[in-house]
Amino acid sequence: MRTLPSLLANTAAERLSHSIRALLQPLGAVLAALVVGAALIALTGVDPFFAYQKMWEGIAKSNYQIGLVLVKATPLLIIGLGLGLAFNSGVFNIGAEGQLYMGALIGTAIAIQAWGLPAWLHILLSLVGGFVGGGLWGLLPGYLKARHNINEVITTILLNYIAIYIVSYFTHGPLRDNPFAEAALPQTPEVQPSSQLPLIWPPTRLHAGFPLGILLAAILYIVTYRMAFGYKARAVGSSPAAAHYAGMNPTQIMVIVMVVSGGLAGIAGTVEILGVQHRLRDMFSPGLGYSAIAIALMGNNHPLGILLASVVFGALQVGANNMQALAGVPVTIVDVIQAMVIFFVAVGAIIRWRAPLMALFKPKRVTSD
Amino acid sequence: MPAPLLEMRQIVKSFGSLRANDRIDFEVRAGETHALLGENGAGKTTLMNILYGLYQPDSGEIYWKGEKITLHSPRDAIRHRIGMIHQHLMLVPNLTVLENVLVGLRSPKAPLLPVRETLSRLEDFAVQYGLSVDPARKVKELPLGLQQRVEILKALFRGADLLILDEPTAVLSPLEVEELFAVLKNLVSKGVSIIFISHKLDEVLRISDRITVLRQGKRIGTLEAGHATREILTEMMVGRSIALDRSFPKGAAAQPILELKNVSLIRPKVGRILKNISLTLHRGEILGVAGIDGNGQEELADVVCGLIPYSEGQMLIEGCPVLNPTPQKMKAAGLGYVPADRQRVGLVRNFSVAHNLVLKSLDDPPFNAYGFVQEKVVRLNAQQMIAEFDIRATDPLQPVEQLSGGNQQKVILGRELKLATRLLVAVHPTRGLDVGATESVRRFLYSQKERGVGILLISADLDELLAMSDRIAVMFRGEILGIVPGERAFLPAISRMMLGEHLEAVVQ
Amino acid sequence: MEEFLWVSFLVSLLAAGVRLATPLFFAALGGITNELSGVLNIGLEGMMVAGTFGAYIGALLSGSEWGGALGGMLAGGLLGLLFAFLSITLGGDQVVLGTGLNIFALGLTSFFFRSMYKAGISQFVPSFQAWNVPLLSDIPIIGQIFFRQVPLVYMAYMLIPTATLILYKTTWGLELRCCGEHPRAAETVGIDVIKMRYFALVLSGMLAGLGGTFLSLGQISAFTEGLVSGRGFIALAAVIFGRWRPPNVALACLLFGVADALQLRLQGFGLPIRYEFLLMFPYLLTLITFILFVNRGDAPAALGKPYPER
């Protein structure tokens, strides 16, 4: 896949300008997408300014709403980090949705157990369970891609459907809460109080998952840009032949990356249960794993960019709910905006427009053949 | 005197700041074979791509049969009955010969493919031009010589009064070259004019009526083949600066560093890529490997460097057998490798100069501590290497893709020379570099020899091999046909071996 | 008696399999077209989604199911055009764009649909009705399975030989395949590769849109979200499984269609298998066939590579 210029910058000044671009680029893409979104809203007969005003009010009218923005951003951030790592390494993992489900399944299965553990341990165990569940779901496509060059896009997509039905089975069957009750919903019992993520900004709904996400972003940054493993992973992504030549083991690296990528999605799923929903429900995710693709691409696969992108989309989500309630614009406009962000980033619109300008100042040698 | 068939006037074509064609005049008379001679990068292919409509010239005019024409695409060229055989054949390997000949042609049975009509026309062509080939075979199953025939058939099918052949002999065996020449003579006798692009003097002298020489995008002159000699042409091609041919002092120690014993590489479905390779490389020796591209040289390098596991035989370093070599093992054994494809293989393009310089040492101290890359050490190391190897980079952290080819090569050389404590494998180390960069690359290689490192130098440039190597091994179809001293006196023997004759036969 | 039950079970299973295979086949045929031209179209799913909605709107506006088919093809074709512009003209990565296209189609159809119907329930629109082919439908078993279907199914039958002929026996088909195998070679014989790929993508979108039409107007007479749910990806796998040859791809689609029909029928049988696993079955089957068959090495050589090279 097209990799945007990495954040491996030259001089301090250039590094700063790269960082600024890492921040500006996602915002530019979102702004462009919002403009197209406005046209769509107008098409349905609603005044787009009125609609966006309602959206903005939904985001900024209270601390509670801001807390909600960060709550919505949390799973997107954690999944996006894993996807960014995978994309950096040349694996287009679009199976985060399934990995999220499998992680949530195992995480929840641990979290509902009344083992009488201290909270920190119960939470930790659940999160590890989530990592394992998601990681296993990433292992298979990662192995098939690395070892047998089997296109990961198709395998991960199909595994998404399979994972959703597996969770469906458990929520209807073995893990169902009180199956004998009349009209019982397909969901697990509530997770133990000891495994619920503490709220950190009462009275908002913001839970400890968000700082966990920031911590993970910092770790991912260090691993990707400061550790030998990250250099190797990026080398495998941008020049697989060079990586092999340099004695790296692309197969191994791709598999590890896919396990971590899936594992992070699994953690995100677990966090969503432990922090927000407190029960694993059939079909509980509104496509978080797909939204996170836009997050990772928009964030240039860089942890900082992903953090920013996830907050922006958390805000769009919260705002869109308000917009739906008060302006009658369906929330799925956010999906459209996400898709357009993917388009904008994929064609590198911003960079493309920049290139001719740069060429004026920096004549580049082109060799003929 | 009638107007020439083709006249190209004052053609200019630039790519960025590089002037690939600088006011070139070129003409072809009806019925002649006109050679376009020049070194790599002299602008021959650019000029011909303009003639075939693939590039648009920045300025200049093209007259065809006396009329001014503009060519926007190959479609226009084909319409004017200009055909081109590209250096990298433009055939679809997965399609049959018939389909390759047919594709893009207007069909009398449109929209259906005129299969039966084409088959009978193919038979006519086979008789008329001596171009027979089985139309039902897939192109990928044919040897290169036959594939080239398919290309010629393709061009003739579209009707060609002028046929451009871009380096047609580069991939052919000597026998196939003879067959090609016979076909070309036949074509000329049927009234087809030919432009023959080459950088090989002997071929040009043999086949052409006139010769135009290009150098660095400019036309140097046009000669009747009868008046041309190797010497005149060489001087026209390279100018007077033939300093590159100066020889380095020779001589090596007797201790073997690398020994290959009957090493073979077998690929399923393809066959033997390397056949029973046996050679010994000594301390401080440069062993050149000559051969036409694609005769197993690059695979030999990959095998020695552990990138491809060999199928049979034995490899020893200082007498110790190396079992299942891997890139890591060979690095540990003191091997450096300058690969043929520096952009794709030798470098991670979007990494900085500094990080490319430690690409193979990311796990080793002092560049790594507890899994972390020691950025300061990496940068310091880069500053040293940039000075030592004269790498023109603005900053150690400049992305390597922004460097020129010569400087990219120096980054690779710097990295590999540090690793090469015993052994260095260099494949086409100066290919595509300008004179200055070529010279410094050769000096770096030579300094390594002086330090006692054994060097396996694989190159298609015979002058380079003769200037540098103590001995030269000649490869043909995966086999080493003979090893001779690296002296100019052996040039005829080397040339003959490159064309497939065994050393014994050559010596007799 | 027992035997008779089995026969009627099998007949109804296969008849349903043919019906369920049809939308897959339309989309897969689109997939064949764009893949032979060298473009990898992960967005087939999104094009089908657009087709389901476009068909609904078309039927609503025109009051006829054929108007619906037109709407479905138009919607899919427009997405194909968008994909072509983004991937060919602007040079975006085909896989990333295809993924974006899927999200785009889901989001956009849902956005328009919910804007139209706040309650999220659509009207009923004219739909395709089964039409028994005279004589053929009276053949025992065969007639019951193949010739008592809706007209779109018969269209699919006819498309199998037609598409094979066009792709493998005409000059246009050869030129298309040449673009997917070796675009530079295609250009040197005067083929406009970019135009060819544009055309292939629009055609592919229209065919996938027709597949979507079948889902909203061939099986139900309304629109709901989630009608496609992965069928575009199954079609993509069928293309690979059938090695880009329409008859083989049709058989692959039939296999997946029958698997789908089987899981629907088994749900009603009270088997000891949980129905979630039955629902999973088509996807699992697709995954397994994909893993086993994807790398047999006869994909178009330039598949997924942008042209001109960047």
- Please count the residue pairs, one from chain A and one from chain B, whose beta carbons lie less than 8 angstroms apart: 103
- The residue-averaged pLDDT of B132-148 equals 86
* Contact call for B18 and A6, based on CB within 8 A: no
pLDDT at B169: 82
Predicted confidence (pLDDT) at residue A4 exceeds the cutoff of 80: no
A242 and B373 Cβ atoms separated by less than 8 Å: no
Could you tell me the pLDDT band of residue C309, with boundaries at 50, 70 and 90?
low
- Whether B316 and chain C come into contact, CB under 8 Å, resolves to no
pLDDT tens for each residue of A281-291: 988 998 899 99
pLDDT-above-70 percentage for chain B: 95
pLDDT tens for each residue of C145-174: 899 999 999 999 999 999 999 999 999 999
pLDDT at A358: 44
At how many degrees (to 10) do helices A48-60 and A63-88 cross? 100
* Contact call for C107 and A334, based on CB within 8 A: yes
Q: Using CB atoms and an 8 Å cut-off, which of residues 111-150 of chain B contact chain C?
A: 111-113
Q: Which fold has domain C19-293?
A: ABC transporter involved in vitamin B12 uptake, BtuC (1.10.3470)
- Whether A39 and chain C come into contact, CB under 8 Å, resolves to no
pLDDT at B133: 87
**Closest residue of C to A171, CA-based?**
C276
CA B459 to each of CA A277, B420, C33: distance values in angstroms, whole numbers, following the listed order: 66, 19, 44
pLDDT tens for each residue of C63-113: 999 999 999 999 999 999 999 999 998 888 898 899 999 999 999 999 999
Chain B residues touching residue A7 (CB < 8 angstroms)? none
Considering CB atoms only, which of C104, C274, C290 is closest to A155?
Answer: C290
* Contact call for B91 and C189, based on CB within 8 A: no
CA C88 to each of CA B414, C38, C81, C93: distance values in angstroms, whole numbers, following the listed order: 40, 11, 10, 9
CA distance C85 to chain A (A): 10
Q: Using CB atoms and an 8 Å cut-off, which of residues 253-312 of chain B contact chain A?
A: 307
- Whether C170 and chain B come into contact, CB under 8 Å, resolves to yes
Considering CB atoms only, which of B92, B105, B112 is closest to C182?
Answer: B92
Considering CB atoms only, which of A226, A239, A366 is closest to B349?
Answer: A239
B432 and B405 Cβ atoms separated by less than 8 Å: yes
Predicted confidence (pLDDT) at residue A66 exceeds the cutoff of 70: yes
C268 burial via Cβ count (<10 Å: 0-12, 13-18, 19+): exposed
3-state secondary structure of B481: strand
Q: Which two tokens stand for residue B307?
A: 């990138």
- The residue-averaged pLDDT of A104-115 equals 95
Residue A141 to residue A131: CA distance in whole angstroms = 16
Chain B residues touching residue C298 (CB < 8 angstroms)? 94
pLDDT tens for each residue of A110-147: 999 989 899 999 999 999 999 999 999 999 999 999 98
Could you tell me the pLDDT band of residue C239, with boundaries at 50, 70 and 90?
very high
pLDDT at B1: 53
pLDDT at B247: 64
Q: How far apart are the first and last CA of chain C?
A: 67
**A12-356: which CATH architecture?**
Orthogonal Bundle (1.10)
- Whether B85 and chain C come into contact, CB under 8 Å, resolves to no
pTM of the model: 0.87
Q: Using CB atoms and an 8 Å cut-off, which of residues 104-143 of chain C contact chain A?
A: 104, 106-108, 110-112, 114-115, 118
Q: Using CB atoms and an 8 Å cut-off, which of residues 305-344 of chain A contact chain B?
A: none
Residue B458 to residue C36: CA distance in whole angstroms = 39
CA B68 to each of CA B9, B21, B62, B65: distance values in angstroms, whole numbers, following the listed order: 10, 20, 6, 8
* Contact call for C186 and B103, based on CB within 8 A: yes
Chain B residues touching residue C185 (CB < 8 angstroms)? 90-92, 103
Taking the C-alpha atoms of A244, A247, A253 and A255 in order, what is their torsion angle to the nearest 10 degrees?
70
Higher pLDDT pick, B218 / A184? B218
Chain C residues touching residue A148 (CB < 8 angstroms)? 291, 295
pLDDT at A362: 38
Residue B403 to residue B471: CA distance in whole angstroms = 34
Higher pLDDT pick, C272 / B416? B416
Could you tell me the pLDDT band of residue A312, with boundaries at 50, 70 and 90?
very high
Residues 6+ positions from C196 with CB-CB distance below 8 Å: C37, C175, C176, C179, C186
Chain C residues touching residue B111 (CB < 8 angstroms)? 166, 170-172
- Whether B151 and chain C come into contact, CB under 8 Å, resolves to no
Considering CB atoms only, which of C166, C174, C191 is closest to B99?
Answer: C174
3-state secondary structure of B21: strand
pLDDT at B230: 77
CA A182 from chain center: how many Å?
37
Look at the block and give the residue holding tokens 């296109």. Answer: A151
Predicted confidence (pLDDT) at residue C292 exceeds the cutoff of 50: yes
Map out the domains of chain C as residue ranges: 19-293
pLDDT at B174: 67
pLDDT tens for each residue of B170-183: 777 667 788 889 98
CA distance C36 to chain B (A): 12
Predicted confidence (pLDDT) at residue C139 exceeds the cutoff of 80: yes
Quick check: bond before A141 cis, omega within 30?
Answer: no
Q: Which of A18-32, A256-270, B78-92, B380-394 has the lowest mean pLDDT?
A: A18-32
Handedness of CA B112, B116, B119, B124 (dihedral sign): negative
pLDDT at C124: 87
Handedness of CA C87, C90, C91, C97 (dihedral sign): negative
**Closest residue of A to B17, CA-based?**
A365
The neighbouring-strand residues paired with B164 are B84, B195
- Whether B107 and chain C come into contact, CB under 8 Å, resolves to yes
Map out the domains of chain A as residue ranges: 12-356
Higher pLDDT pick, B247 / B44? B44
pLDDT at B417: 92
CA distance A352 to chain B (A): 17
pLDDT tens for each residue of B382-436: 999 999 998 888 889 988 988 888 889 999 999 999 999 999 999 999 887 776 7
- The residue-averaged pLDDT of B69-87 equals 90
Residue A66 to residue A61: CA distance in whole angstroms = 8
pLDDT tens for each residue of B427-474: 999 887 776 788 888 989 999 998 999 999 998 778 888 889 999 999
Considering CB atoms only, which of B15, B331, B399 is closest to A247?
Answer: B331
**Closest residue of A to C291, CA-based?**
A150
Q: Which of A217-231, A288-302, C195-209 has the lowest mean pLDDT?
A: A288-302
**Closest residue of B to C300, CA-based?**
B94
Could you tell me the pLDDT band of residue B314, with boundaries at 50, 70 and 90?
very high
**Closest residue of B to A3, CA-based?**
B350
H helical segments located in chain A:
12-43, 48-60, 63-88, 96-111, 119-148, 152-172, 209-226, 228-238, 240-245, 250-272, 288-298, 303-327, 333-346, 349-361
Residues 6+ positions from B407 with CB-CB distance below 8 Å: B391, B392, B393, B437
pLDDT at A17: 65
**Closest residue of B to C177, CA-based?**
B95
Nearest to B416 by CA among B331, B506, B304: B331
- The residue-averaged pLDDT of C253-267 equals 88
* Contact call for C103 and A346, based on CB within 8 A: no
Q: How far apart are the first and last CA of chain B?
A: 51
**Chains with 3 or more CB pairs under 8 A to chain C:** A, B
Residue B487 to residue B490: CA distance in whole angstroms = 6
Considering CB atoms only, which of A241, A244, A366 is closest to B18?
Answer: A366
- Whether C275 and chain B come into contact, CB under 8 Å, resolves to no
Q: Domains of chain B (ranges plus CATH)?
A: 6-240 (3.40.50.300), 245-350+399-507 (3.40.50.300)
Q: Which two tokens stand for residue C55?
A: 């068909």
**Closest residue of C to B155, CA-based?**
C189
Residues 6+ positions from A303 with CB-CB distance below 8 Å: A81, A84, A217, A218, A220, A221, A224
Nearest to C17 by CA among C281, C196, C307, C265: C265
Residues 6+ positions from A63 with CB-CB distance below 8 Å: A201, A204
Our CA angle for C309, A347, A293, nearest 5°, is 120
Predicted confidence (pLDDT) at residue A363 exceeds the cutoff of 70: no
Chain B residues touching residue A10 (CB < 8 angstroms)? 352, 394-395, 397-399
At how many degrees (to 10) do helices C193-213 and C171-181 cross? 100
pLDDT tens for each residue of A239-249: 889 999 999 99
At how many degrees (to 10) do helices C65-84 and C94-116 cross? 140
pLDDT-above-90 percentage for chain C: 60
pLDDT at B229: 82
Higher pLDDT pick, A2 / B224? B224
Residue C119 to residue C216: CA distance in whole angstroms = 19
Could you tell me the pLDDT band of residue A21, with boundaries at 50, 70 and 90?
low
Q: What string of H, E and C letters represents the secondary structure of B101-151?
A: HHCCCCCCCCCECCHHHHHHHHHHHHHHHCCCCCCCCEHHHCCHHHHHHHH
Considering CB atoms only, which of B90, B102, B158 is closest to C184?
Answer: B90
pLDDT-above-90 percentage for chain B: 44
ipTM score assigned to the predicted complex? 0.91
Nearest to B385 by CA among B360, B347, B353, B363: B353
pLDDT tens for each residue of A84-95: 999 999 999 999
B331 and A247 Cβ atoms separated by less than 8 Å: yes
pLDDT at B346: 92
Higher pLDDT pick, C294 / A136? A136
Higher pLDDT pick, C277 / C268? C277
Identity of the highest mean pLDDT range in B4-18, C54-68, C253-267: C54-68
pLDDT tens for each residue of A337-353: 999 988 988 887 545 44
pLDDT at B349: 87
